[in-house]
């Protein structure tokens, strides 16, 4: 017997017909003697429908009330999947995040899981039930409904796998694994059989959108065996995320090209160049629960410097207001400028640690196509550049080719 | 300051525009210094949409899972109304049934409220919040989500008014009060300024559909001042439900004509006429949580009798199976027959207690139009007949006229 936590995303449960397919798949696993906890997302489109409804009432919906609304999407899915399993003669029981004992902090719309009281689920598993848990949601200590933010269902699955010590956490999605880049942008992108945890982290955070970044962090922290598979294929093996450093010798230099269109850039011009200034700028932004992605500060001159960072495009105007109202008046900077017609493109690979020249190669390829680089940030296993949004797809394609990612190695 | 519990039904919150209207109304009451708990239903159509979704998966949806799905309808409404109040600068907070501390028994789809832990709501009221509570739902002791059945939002409102000792419980609906009969059937039906609790009980149970019967029972039991008003009029006074017996001297003989299309009739033919037989028949039906409405057993002859009763049309086939599989084999009856093309029509009035001849008058009027009476049941304040469904509207119209209900008295 293997104990699996499986997660099915919004597309996999996008219609009652698809929910029945998921039920048949789950029933097959159970028939093979496996124990199963199944995490599901809202039916595809449902979360957007609910957000639109909320915005008809309030342009920037109250965070607590929005969570109360959004959590209904998964609540419907879990019950429908339980019913579908009942029709197949499989004992199954649904749990909302709150019912599953998933306690989070109180950061509505982007809450973090603090603990899971798994005794209810354990009891049902022992009694032979397939346990179905609503992804993406929990409750705080005061009983308020919280959500984990987009993609949070992956985090729910990994957190449950960690708490319940599952043998494997399987993320079923509409793709059959992790690719060298998005096949919709580069036709001959290839599926990777394995990817290291660190590469996956970079791929996810940079918008490859297969797995939610926090779920990968979680998996790394708790050593959860994590696999991405297609919910539309019967016998795919997907991509396994590995945590063993020493297997990386066989890795190619570059694993993939990631990109993200949901970014916006903000630059504070003429910041007095003295200690503590970065905190003065980013403290209030973090307090407003806005995630900052790239942060760039170059060497200053004449006692001032320019400080740039990127945030999600949805939070661009909110961030600009905070900067203009709360920060600029206090720090004596000259101006705040920004833009949201940008995209981020990154090359990723654990292998690049031991190879020089990846960055210069990347910049050369972009220059040859006349693509201007607006910002650069690097880490040991990735190099990211911000470019004009309209060049994004071109940049991804030429980099995928330049690093031979279309060749099986 | 007056402390009001107000309930807005599905039509009143049927669109985001209507939810904004409700918010303006609630904000006005608050501006007048009143404390408010607001109970809302699901947006109109939503409950049916969710039921259809469930039925696509499972023809007779699992009761527990169906409640998990159905409860999302109100959960969306409460959050939208809270947001709408926020946009008007009113402090407001939403509560699901579970969050509001509404504990029910475990009879899914038709649960009964056992207790309300009102301390959360009291604290918010004291802090100046408008408290918004999801109607129709609660949780049982094990944490399962339950629903109270159709119309259960009225019961939620009355139960909260009782638990919180509100000054008045106001049920806002799409009609401006209780009428002598349905104005869609009889054009000159009149609004009643007051109606006694008992008459109201009969009107509601007989399908006038303005108030849910259990809410009226609840109001009577806890002496909650209950008023039905229109959510589309600004200054209507609606219909007040009275509990004082001695005010009934001024009442006309008949208050109204009620009707119900959602009925089906079942007759067990040739039942051995001995003690305990009624229990043997209805026990298993009650165990299946099926509500029985009329029950008729006439004097038997030749040692057998016929036993008839009516149930909601939705439960007709389920009831027939129970009778055929569990009951008929054991009691030695001849057959079970039934039909669901029937309707019930009733004349109601506390005044008829002291007037003879109401029944005969009723039967004469029906006979003159050639309407055959299939079943008859009477109480001190009502007379109900079952007729072929196709004659229902005709019967209502001629009875409304025969008892002078179109005349102001």
The pLDDT tens digits of the residues spanning A270-315 come to: 888 777 778 888 888 888 888 888 888 777 777 888 888 999 998 9
A137 CB within 8 Å of a chain B CB = no
Q: What ipTM was reported for this prediction?
A: 0.70
B356 pLDDT tier (thresholds 50, 70, 90)? low
State whether A57 and B19 contact (CB < 8 Å): yes
A84 CB within 8 Å of a chain B CB = yes
In chain A, whose CA is at the least distance from the CA of B63?
A83
| B119 assigned binding-site residue | no
Instruction: Please determine, for residue A31, whether its predicted confidence score (pLDDT) is greater than 80.
Output: yes
Residue A47 domain-assigned?
yes
State whether B69 and A61 contact (CB < 8 Å): no
Residue A31 domain-assigned?
yes
State whether A79 and B68 contact (CB < 8 Å): yes
Distance in Å, alpha carbon of A71 to nearest chain B alpha carbon = 9
Lowest-pLDDT range of A19-23, A319-323, B219-223 = B219-223
CB-neighbour burial class of residue B92 (10 A; exposed 0-12, middle 13-18, buried 19+): buried
Residue A277 domain-assigned?
no
In chain A, whose CA is at the least distance from the CA of B93?
A65
State whether A84 and B20 contact (CB < 8 Å): no
Of A58, A66, A84, the CB nearest to B87: A58
What pLDDT shows up at residue B230? 86
**Share of residues in chain A with pLDDT > 70 (%):** 95
Residue B290 domain-assigned?
no
State whether B58 and A96 contact (CB < 8 Å): no
What pLDDT shows up at residue B246? 47
Is the Cβ–Cβ distance between A228 and A171 less than 8 Å? Answer: yes
Instruction: Please determine, for residue B20, whether its predicted confidence score (pLDDT) is greater than 70.
Output: yes
Q: Which of B240, B279, B264, B399 is nearest to B338 (CA)?
A: B264
Helix (H) or strand (E) holding A102: strand A102-104
What pLDDT shows up at residue A44? 93
Distance in Å, alpha carbon of A17 to nearest chain B alpha carbon = 8
d(CA A104, CA A98): 10
Higher-pLDDT residue of A355 and A342 is A342
Residue B58 domain-assigned?
yes
A111 pLDDT tier (thresholds 50, 70, 90)? very high
Residue A217 domain-assigned?
no
State whether A87 and B50 contact (CB < 8 Å): no
CB-neighbour burial class of residue B394 (10 A; exposed 0-12, middle 13-18, buried 19+): middle
**Share of residues in chain B with pLDDT > 70 (%):** 94
Residue A220 domain-assigned?
no
**Share of residues in chain B with pLDDT > 90 (%):** 53
What pLDDT shows up at residue A204? 66
Residue A148 domain-assigned?
yes
A91, HSE (Cβ side, Cα atoms, 13 Å): 7
Residues 6+ positions from B37 with CB-CB distance below 8 Å: B4, B5, B6, B121, B125, B130, B131, B132, B133, B160, B161, B164, B166
B378, HSE (Cβ side, Cα atoms, 13 Å): 11
Of B61, B86, B99, the CB nearest to A62: B86
Number of domains in chain B: 1
What pLDDT shows up at residue A78? 98
Q: Write the CATH number for A110.
A: 3.40.1160.10
From the candidates B65, B106, B127, which should be mutated to test the interface with A, based on the most A CB atoms within 10 A? Answer: B65
Which pLDDT tens digit goes with each residue over A44-90? 999 999 999 999 999 999 999 999 999 999 999 999 999 999 999 99
A246 pLDDT tier (thresholds 50, 70, 90)? very low
Which pLDDT tens digit goes with each residue over B111-122? 999 999 999 999
Q: Which domain holds residue A36?
A: 3-174
A208 pLDDT tier (thresholds 50, 70, 90)? low
d(CA B80, CA A69): 8
pTM strictly above 0.80: no
């Amino acid at each position: 017997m293997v104990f699996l936590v499986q997660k099915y995303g919004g597309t996999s449960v996008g219609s009652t017909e698809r929910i029945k397919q998921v039920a048949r798949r789950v029933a097959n696993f159970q028939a093979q003697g496996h124990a199963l906890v199944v995490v599901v997302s809202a039916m595809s489109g449902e979360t957007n429908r609910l957000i639109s409804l909320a915005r008809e009432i309030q342009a920037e919906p109250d965070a607590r009330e929005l969570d109360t609304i959004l959590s209904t999407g998964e609540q419907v899915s879990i019950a429908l999947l339980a019913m579908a399993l009942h029709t197949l003669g499989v004992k199954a029981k649904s749990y909302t995040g709150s019912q599953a004992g998933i306690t989070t902090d109180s950061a509505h719309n982007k809450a973090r899981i603090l603990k899971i009281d798994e005794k209810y689920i354990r009891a049902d598993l022992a009694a032979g039930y397939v346990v179905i848990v609503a992804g993406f949601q929990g409750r705080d200590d005061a009983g308020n409904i919280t959500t984990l933010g987009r993609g949070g269902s992956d985090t729910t699955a990994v957190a449950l796998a960690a708490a319940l010590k599952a043998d494997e956490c399987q993320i079923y999605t509409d793709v059959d694994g992790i690719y060298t880049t998005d096949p919709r942008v580069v036709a001959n992108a290839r599926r990777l059989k394995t990817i290291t945890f660190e590469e996956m982290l970079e791929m996810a955070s940079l918008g490859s959108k297969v797995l939610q970044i926090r779920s990968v962090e979680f998996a790394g922290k708790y050593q959860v065996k994590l696999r991405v598979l297609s919910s539309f294929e019967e016998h795919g093996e997907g991509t396994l995320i590995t945590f063993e450093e020493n297997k990386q010798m066989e890795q190619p230099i570059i694993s993939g090209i990631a990109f993200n269109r949901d970014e916006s850039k903000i630059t504070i011009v003429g910041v007095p160049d003295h200690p503590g200034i970065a905190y003065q700028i980013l403290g209030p932004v973090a307090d407003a629960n806005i995630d900052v992605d790239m942060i760039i500060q170059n060497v200053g001159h004449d006692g001032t410097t320019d400080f740039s960072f990127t945030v999600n495009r949805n939070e661009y105007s909110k961030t600009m207001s905070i900067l203009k109202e709360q920060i600029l008046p206090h720090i004596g900077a000259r101006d705040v400028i920004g833009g949201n017609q940008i995209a981020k493109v990154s090359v990723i690979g654990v292998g690049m640690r031991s190879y020089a020249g990846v960055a210069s190669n990347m910049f050369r390829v972009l220059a040859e196509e006349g693509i201007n680089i607006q910002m650069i940030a690097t880490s040991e296993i990735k190099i990211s550049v911000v470019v004009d949004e309209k060049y994004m797809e071109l940049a991804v394609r030429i980099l995928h080719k330049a690093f031979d990612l279309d060749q099986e190695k």
